[in-house]
Amino acid sequence: MSIKEWFHHHDHDNVQDGELTPKHYTNPYLIGLLLGIVLLATFVIMGRGMGASGVLSTVVSVGVEKVLPASVEGNAFYQGYLGDGESNPFKNWLSFEIIGMIIGGFVSGAISGRNKITIEKGPRATNKMRLTLAFIGGSLMGFGAKMARGCTSGQALTGGTMLSVGGWVFMLAVFAGAYAFAYFVRRQWT
Amino acid sequence: MTAPFYKFGLFNDEVSFIIAFVLGLAFGFVFERGGFGSGRMLAAQFYFTDMRVFKVMFTAIVVAMIGLFYLSWIGFIDLSLIYFGDTFIMPQIVGGLILGVGFVIGGYCPGTSTVAIATGRLDAIVYLLGGAFGIFVFGEVFPYISDFFYSTPMGRITLPELFGIDYGIIVFAVILLAIAGFTAADWGEKFMASKKEGK
Amino acid sequence: MLKIYAALPPRKQIGIIAIILGIVAVFIGNPQDNTTTTVNIKELSMTAGDNVNSVSVQELSNWIIQGKMDYRLVDLRTEADYDEYNIPSSECVSMSSLTKSELMRNEKIILYADDDIVASQAWFILKADGYHSVSILKKGMEAWKNEVVFPSCNCGEHSTAELKQLHDKKAEVAKFFGGALQTDGGTESSVKKNLPKLKAPKKVVLKTNRKKPAREGC
């Protein structure tokens, strides 16, 4: 059978309200298994795990250096992402991984017909509300990710697999924080 | 011990970038396939309607953890050469809480937002812009909070080391925890679904 | 029993496999134990005679002068000896703490002690524990003293240009390490008697620091 048919064969529809019908998303346990294998491959080949927030930090550091160079001097945080000035700060493992992620995500979406220029939001939310909250949420995420030295991909997945104390503590904190605050933004999602 | 291959010099940096790209492809593909490219889908986790974030994450962790344990046991991989960050308890708790709040408000985390952008979600772009802003704020206040940032360090410590329990026992405990969690998650989803129907 | 297993939904099947793997893991305990290991004797006996396993003091002195810091130099003697004098860029690790040290299996390790015996024993321990690149500093501290810091050179007045170059080089290297070229020209035994006590290398300034590992965070 064709690739499309193979994927549909392995999916099961999640029974939800009309709008949130996940159009043929694969069983989460199978996804977890595949993700676990990719993660394991990363460990075996590279001796490190995945990551994501590092690229954003590099972008910000390079941007701040161009616009407000005074801020960057002597600031160990930015300097860490700018490197020693010898090589391009973007020439690192994470940058290439992120590029791959974007393309991989696009291909998957294309195969399943999920690629659409749209704004994700719940039935009761307006676009303006959603975009404002997206920005606020993103800012908190950026700040929190740097404070914790990672995001869910890096700290939780990598640290979790290696049974790092910080990774597990971080994971618990993320879930705790999200659940605690979910009530206050229920208008946006449900 | 032959793995991790890169650490034993089996290939150079340039090749490692190609590998990063290929692994990223797989990563992004699997993410989108699992519905992580949709903010609504991700947020549903925190309303108990679709617990896929938890299921995917924990299954992945358990699979990779078992894999690493057994590969180390047969002497294929050297676990001490694998990098993971040092533990700084307080900043990681506080950072995690903040990130969790940001996650449920924004609907994404950094990795999933890139996949979402790849499939056309405009709110993910705004989310990443917010993320850049948040990192910028962090960078600016960093000199003032760097004491806190470096507080409560515990070094490169793992759960077995912390509790003084064998690695294998912790592996078993995590597996049990995961299975219990998945059972609860499945039950929770059914409960919420039936509640909705009953409405 | 297999029939019951086959009848379960796939999710439960995988769950049972996971639990079994977990139970086996409990019995394995700590896979990277550091007390026992399996040694590939054939491989070890084939590489044991190779010259890749040894480093001469001349090579090492060149590396130190050039600032080439891609190795880890391990001093296996007692701490007291180490404090009194040690080769620049070395670290003190006793034989018993070798397995617990922070030496990594992918690093280039060079071992030395007062002679070759202790170093060879340490070589075996590390190779058996899976270290990929372990070498011994040929003749250890003795060679370092006699050939680098206090070398002698039998080059008289009528020596060739080559010998003169060698003489000058040896003198320079010796000076770098705080020693001096022995110009007595006497017999070996008389030279040995006159060797002054080696002091800690205050004058030696190492050119470069160890290369910082690339960022691997997320």
A167 and chain C in contact, CB less than 8 A: no
- A chain contacts of residue C214, beta-carbon cutoff 8 Å: 92
Which of A52, A104, A161 minimizes the C-alpha distance to B27?
Answer: A104
The pLDDT of residue A1 is above 80: no
| DSSP of B41-89 | HHHGGGGTS--HHHHHHHHHHHHHHHHHHHHHHTTSB-GGGS--PPEEH
List B residues 102-161 in contact with A (Cβ-Cβ < 8 A).
Answer: 102-111, 113-124, 126-140, 142-143, 146, 149, 154, 156-160
* pLDDT top residue among A19 and B55: B55
* pLDDT top residue among A170 and C54: A170
| DSSP of C73-117 | EEE-S-HHHHHH---TTEEE--GGGTTTSS--TTSEEEEE-SSHH
- C chain contacts of residue B62, beta-carbon cutoff 8 Å: 18
Region of residue C10 (phi > 0: left; psi between -120 and 50: alpha; otherwise: beta): alpha
Which of B121, B158, B131 minimizes the C-alpha distance to B32?
Answer: B121
d(CA C17, CA C19): 5
Token pair, residue B72, equals 């180390």
* pLDDT top residue among A25 and C19: C19
Q: Which of A83-87, C123-127, C179-183 has the lowest mean pLDDT?
A: C179-183
CA-based nearest residue in chain B for residue C104:
B81
A86 and chain B in contact, CB less than 8 A: no
- The superfamily in CATH containing domain C41-144+198-207 is Rhodanese-like domain (3.40.250.10)
CB contact under 8 A, C30 and B168: yes
B96 and chain C in contact, CB less than 8 A: no
Nearest to C31 among B62, B167, B176 (CB): B167
Token pair, residue C82, equals 């180490």
Q: What is the mean pLDDT of residues C62-90?
A: 88
- B chain contacts of residue A170, beta-carbon cutoff 8 Å: 92-93, 95-96
d(CA B132, CA A56): 6
How confident is the model at residue A19, as a pLDDT? 41
CB pairs under 8 A between B and C: 76
CA-based nearest residue in chain C for residue B173:
C22
How confident is the model at residue A143, as a pLDDT? 95
Structural domain including B19 reads: 6-198
B160 and chain C in contact, CB less than 8 A: yes
How confident is the model at residue B124, as a pLDDT? 92
Q: What is the mean pLDDT of residues C80-94?
A: 88
Pairing relationship of beta strands C133-137 and C54-55 according to DSSP bridges: parallel
How confident is the model at residue C183, as a pLDDT? 64
Nearest to A146 among B5, B121, B135 (CB): B135
Question: B102 and A137 in contact (C-beta within 8 Å)?
Answer: yes
Residue B90 class from Cβ within 10 Å (0-12 exposed, 13-18 middle, 19+ buried)?
middle
d(CA C108, CA C93): 15
How confident is the model at residue C205, as a pLDDT? 56
How many residues can be counted in chain A?
190
ipTM value: 0.94
d(CA C212, CA A84): 10
Total structural domains within chain B: 1
Which of C186, C187, C201 minimizes the C-alpha distance to C148?
Answer: C201
Q: Which of A126-130, B164-168, C173-177 has the lowest mean pLDDT?
A: C173-177
How confident is the model at residue C48, as a pLDDT? 77
The pLDDT of residue C192 is above 50: no
CA-based nearest residue in chain C for residue B180:
C15
The pLDDT of residue A8 is above 60: no
Query: Where along chain C do its domains lie?
Result: 41-144+198-207, 151-190
How confident is the model at residue C77, as a pLDDT? 92
| DSSP of A169-181 | HHHHHHHHHHHHH
The pLDDT of residue C188 is above 50: no
How confident is the model at residue C101, as a pLDDT? 85
* pLDDT top residue among C162 and C140: C140
pLDDT more than 90, % of chain C: 21
Question: B138 and A70 in contact (C-beta within 8 Å)?
Answer: no
In our burial notation (b when 16+ CB lie closer than 10 A, e otherwise), range A140-155 reads bbbbbbbbbbbbbbbb
**In the beta sheet, which residues pair with residue A164?**
B158
- pLDDT truncated to tens, each residue of chain B (199 aa)? 888 999 998 998 899 999 999 999 999 999 999 889 888 889 989 998 888 999 999 999 999 999 999 999 998 999 999 988 899 999 999 999 999 999 999 999 899 999 999 999 999 999 999 999 999 999 999 999 989 999 999 989 999 999 999 999 999 999 999 999 999 999 988 888 888 777 5
How confident is the model at residue B18, as a pLDDT? 95
C214 and chain A in contact, CB less than 8 A: yes
Q: What is the mean pLDDT of residues A39-48?
A: 94
Q: What's the pLDDT band for C159 if we cut at 50, 70, 90?
A: low
Q: What is the mean pLDDT of residues A98-120?
A: 89
User: Could you tell me if residue B43 is inside a domain?
Assistant: yes
CB contact under 8 A, C14 and A29: yes
Q: What's the pLDDT band for C76 if we cut at 50, 70, 90?
A: very high
User: Could you tell me if residue B1 is inside a domain?
Assistant: no
- Residues 6 or more apart whose CB falls under 8 angstroms from that of C15 comprise B179, B182
CB contact under 8 A, A51 and C214: no
* pLDDT top residue among A146 and C48: A146
How confident is the model at residue C158, as a pLDDT? 56
A126 and chain B in contact, CB less than 8 A: no
The pLDDT of residue C213 is above 80: no
d(CA B147, CA B144): 7
d(CA A89, CA A92): 7
CB contact under 8 A, B9 and C216: no
Mean per-residue pLDDT over chain C, rounded: 80
d(CA A9, CA A6): 5
Nearest to A149 among B38, B92, B157 (CB): B92
The pLDDT of residue C194 is above 60: no
* pLDDT top residue among B59 and C46: B59
User: Could you tell me if residue B167 is inside a domain?
Assistant: yes
Q: What's the pLDDT band for A176 if we cut at 50, 70, 90?
A: very high
CA-based nearest residue in chain A for residue B182:
A29
Query: Highest mean pLDDT range out of A67-76, C12-21, C40-49?
Result: C12-21
How confident is the model at residue A16, as a pLDDT? 35
The pLDDT of residue A85 is above 90: no
Q: What angle do CA C139, C182, C192 make, to 5 degrees?
A: 55
Chains that touch A (3 or more CB pairs under 8 A): B, C
Nearest to C218 among A29, A83, A151 (CB): A151
CA-based nearest residue in chain C for residue B62:
C18
Mean per-residue pLDDT over chain A, rounded: 84
Q: What's the pLDDT band for C201 if we cut at 50, 70, 90?
A: very low
